[in-house]
């Protein structure tokens, strides 16, 4: 367990925010997650790392939820406070031998975009398309950090963004070439449905990687 000092809290919309902490020589592989909580408390929550491997700080993207004990407390943090960090954990990572030669499709819902943000920030020359499914446009978290044309926003409750509807509906209308490496991160219903669609489009088991967000 390590203690990290908060540098800043960055509010992205009324319920979602980024906590930026001192890195303290913390090392991780993009796509991994940490557990975060307060010193002396047993209440901890898993969060994918939002920042790049190369950044001089450590960031997590957090959505405050009504029943979320930890997310509500973390929202009240201030710069200078300390948080306990454990990890990194997980294997939802890019493969070094594929980075420069493969095409990638990233599909995320809500804050499931967090590890994808880390992928792209760490490897800015990736050949990728990102499909991000949200309810409304104010959940398109820091969309200007992605290359122009690489980010597809699907909004289910507003007729805004690039596509009005769910990511799975977009996927059906925009088939993926069979040589694409796919990473799915978000709620389990999206992952199951998108997985089936991709298999029918010719993507085999090997190039599909998944990470469920609850």
Q: Model confidence at 116, in pLDDT bands (50, 70, 90)?
A: very high
Question: For the CA atoms of the chain, what is the radius of gyration?
Answer: 17
Cα dihedral value 13, 14, 19, 20, nearest 10: 40
CATH number given to 96-212: 3.40.50.80
Whether residue 177 has pLDDT greater than 60: yes
Tokens of 160: 């805004």
Give ranges for CATH 2.40.30.10 in the chain. Answer: 2-89
**Residues whose CB is less than 8 angstroms from the CB of residue 181 and which lie 6 or more positions away in sequence, other chains included:** 98, 102, 103, 104, 105, 207, 209
Q: What is the per-residue pLDDT for 214? A: 53
Pairwise CA distance, residues 14 & 64, whole Å: 9
Compute the C-alpha angle 52/58/61, nearest 5°: 85
Q: What is the per-residue pLDDT for 67? A: 72
Mean pLDDT of the chain: 92
What is the average pLDDT across 53-80?
89
pLDDT in tens, 79-93: 999 999 999 999 999
Pick from 49-63, 158-172, 179-193, 195-209: least confident: 195-209
Q: What is the per-residue pLDDT for 72? A: 81
Give ranges for CATH 3.40.50.80 in the chain. Answer: 96-212
Distances 73 to 59, 87, 99 between C-alpha atoms, Å? 17, 21, 38
Q: Give alpha helix (H) positions in the chain.
A: 69-75, 114-122, 167-173, 188-200
Task: Say whether domain 2-89 belongs to CATH 2.40.30.10.
Answer: yes
Closest by alpha carbon to 86, among 46, 29, 30?
A: 46
Closest by alpha carbon to 119, among 208, 30, 212?
A: 30
Q: What is the per-residue pLDDT for 38? A: 86
Q: Model confidence at 208, in pLDDT bands (50, 70, 90)?
A: confident
Length of the chain: 214
Q: What is the per-residue pLDDT for 205? A: 59
What is the average pLDDT across 162-184?
94
The DSSP output letter for 80 is T
| Residue 142, preceding peptide bond in cis (omega within 30° of 0) | no
pLDDT in tens, 123-167: 999 999 999 999 999 999 999 999 888 999 999 998 888 999 999
Whether residue 206 has pLDDT greater than 70: no
pLDDT in tens, 10-40: 999 999 999 999 999 999 999 999 999 987 7
Q: What is the per-residue pLDDT for 146? A: 93
């Amino acid at each position: 367990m390590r203690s990290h000092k908060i540098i800043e809290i960055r509010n992205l919309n009324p319920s979602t925010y980024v906590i930026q902490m001192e890195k303290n020589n913390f090392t991780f592989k993009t796509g991994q997650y940490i557990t975060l909580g307060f010193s002396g408390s047993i209440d901890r929550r898993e969060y994918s790392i939002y920042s790049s491997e190369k950044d001089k700080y450590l960031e997590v993207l957090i959505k405050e939820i009504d029943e979320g004990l930890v997310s509500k407390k973390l929202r009240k943090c201030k710069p200078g406070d300390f948080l306990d960090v454990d990890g990194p954990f997980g294997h939802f990572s890019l493969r070094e031998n594929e980075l420069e030669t493969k095409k990638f499709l990233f599909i995320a819902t809500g804050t499931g975009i967090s590890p994808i943000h880390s992928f792209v920030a760490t490897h800015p020359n990736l050949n990728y398309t990102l499909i991000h499914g949200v309810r409304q446009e104010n959940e398109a978290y820091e969309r200007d950090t992605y290359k122009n044309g690489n980010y597809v926003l699907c909004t289910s409750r507003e007729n805004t963004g690039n596509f009005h509807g769910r990511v799975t509906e977009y996927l059906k209308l925009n088939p993926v070439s069979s040589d694409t490496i796919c990473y799915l991160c978000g709620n389990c219903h999206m992952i199951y449905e998108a997985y089936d669609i991709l298999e029918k489009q010719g993507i085999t088991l090997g190039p599909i990687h998944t990470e469920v967000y609850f």
